[in-house]
């Protein structure tokens, strides 16, 4: 697929392998730059299937290149299931990355899923973020990794969900249309305050959602991912050719 007419924020790669390799190199660079500037890097991890290969590359090829002892790992969202549940974003990241690098235990910040009420758990995770980032209006992550669902959702921001209107809380409970319904998610103001946001999108089943998310006239209620456009940060979409097959012409989401 020709890519010369597409802007720099849209990186179209031949396949999942190439996407993961290029994104891993970008993550490593972002970590080094954050550590050089501030002495640490705060990274928000994505869940789902797409980032697994990226995490595996970070845990192997970049295991010794990244200063893991200066990295803090958080999560953009979580399914409200036990930490050892196969559906857990934390479990996937733990197996693919966190257990395989020299990351201090107190630098890993999973969302709590052992509270009786997932709304209470959201408040507890927000308190964790405030302890790490201070009481600024919003935390500023050095890098946020996100995926894209076939329905246009990202993290646990689903179409027509009430959480899309949240502008005060950093972390909010969310209800998904599929099991497990109960979720925790960071909110739009947090994502849009990040220094870097990188989306990872793979597969033809995501093509329609990607086309809608990149439209200048996209509405966040229909395509929640479209509203993540950090005004003072870098936005990059890493996509493979299968996911990009419905893109006819580029529009700039960083308007």
CA–chain centroid gap for 55, Å, is 12
Q: Give me Rg for the CA atoms of the chain.
A: 17
pLDDT in tens, 75-96: 999 999 999 999 999 999 999 9
Q: pLDDT tens for residues 24-62?
A: 999 999 999 999 999 999 999 999 999 999 999 999 999
What average pLDDT score do residues 166-182 get?
A: 97
Over residues 137-159, mean pLDDT? 98
Q: Is the link from the previous residue into 180 a cis peptide, with omega within 30 of 0?
A: yes
Residue 252's pLDDT band, with cuts at 50, 70 and 90, is very low
Q: Nearest Cα to 80, choosing from 192, 200, 172, 14?
A: 172
This prediction has a pTM of 0.94
Query: In the chain, what are the domain boundaries?
Result: 10-140+153-240
Residue 68: band (very low, low, confident or very high) from pLDDT cuts 50, 70, 90: very high
Which residues, in sequence order, are bridge partners of residue 12?
A: 239
Instruction: Tell me the percentage of the chain whose pLDDT exceeds 70.
Output: 95
Residue 213 near residue 157, CB atoms below 8 Å: no
pLDDT(146) > 90: yes
Choosing among 3.40.50.11900, 3.10.20.30, 3.40.50.1360, 3.40.50.620, the CATH entry for 10-140+153-240 is 3.40.50.1360
pLDDT band at 135 (very low <50, low <70, confident <90, very high): confident
């Amino acid at each position: 697929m020709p890519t010369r007419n597409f802007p720099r924020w849209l990186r179209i790669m031949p396949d999942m392998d190439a996407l993961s390799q290029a994104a891993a190199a970008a993550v490593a660079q972002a970590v080094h730059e954050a550590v050089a500037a501030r002495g640490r890097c705060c990274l928000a991890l994505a869940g789902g299937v797409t980032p697994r290969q990226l995490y595996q590359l970070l845990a192997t090829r970049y295991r010794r290149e990244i200063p893991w002892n200066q990295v803090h790992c958080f999560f953009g969202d979580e399914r409200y299931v036990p930490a050892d549940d196969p559906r857990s974003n934390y479990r996937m990241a733990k197996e693919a990355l966190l257990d395989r690098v020299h990351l201090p235990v107190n630098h890993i910040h999973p969302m709590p899923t052992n509270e009786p009420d997932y709304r209470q758990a959201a408040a507890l995770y927000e308190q964790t973020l405030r302890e790490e980032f201070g009481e600024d209006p919003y935390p500023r992550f050095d890098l946020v990794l996100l995926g894209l669902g076939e329905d246009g959702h990202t993290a646990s921001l689903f179409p027509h969900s009430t959480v899309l209107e949240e502008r005060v809380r950093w972390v909010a409970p969310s209800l998904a249309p599929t099991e497990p319904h109960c979720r925790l998610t960071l909110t739009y103001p947090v994502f849009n305050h990040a220094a870097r946001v990188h989306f990872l999108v793979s597969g033809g089943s995501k093509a329609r959602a990607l086309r809608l998310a990149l439209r200048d006239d996209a509405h966040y209620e229909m395509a929640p991912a479209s509203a993540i456009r950090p005004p003072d940060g870098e936005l990059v979409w890493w996509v493979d050719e299968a996911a990009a097959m419905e893109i006819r012409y580029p529009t700039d989401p960083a308007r």
